[in-house]
Amino acid sequence: MEERIEKAVSLFKEGYNCSQSVVLAYADMYGFTKDQSLRMASSFGAGIGRMRETCGAACGMFLLAGLETGSIDPKDNTAKSNNYKVVQDMAAEFKLRNGSLICGDLLGLNGKKIVISSTAEERTPEYYKKRPCVKMVEEAARIFGEYLKDSK
Residue-wise pLDDT tens digits, 54-106: 999 999 999 999 999 999 999 999 999 999 999 999 999 999 999 999 999 99
Residue ranges per domain, the chain? 2-151
Residue 54 phi, psi dihedral angles, 5° rounding: -60, 130
Calculate the average pLDDT of the chain: 95
Amino acid at 130: K
* Cα distance between residue 100 and residue 123, in whole Å: 24
Amino acid at 107: L
pLDDT at 110: 77
Say if residues 57 and 33 touch (Cβ distance below 8 Å).
no
Question: Residues 4-13: what's their mean pLDDT?
Answer: 98
* Cα distance between residue 115 and residue 41, in whole Å: 23
The whole-angstrom distance between residue 13's C-alpha and the CA centroid of its chain comes to: 15
pLDDT level of residue 130 (50, 70, 90 thresholds): confident
Tens of pLDDT, residue by residue over 53-66, are 999 999 999 999 99
Residue 52 phi, psi dihedral angles, 5° rounding: 65, 30
* Cα distance between residue 90 and residue 76, in whole Å: 22
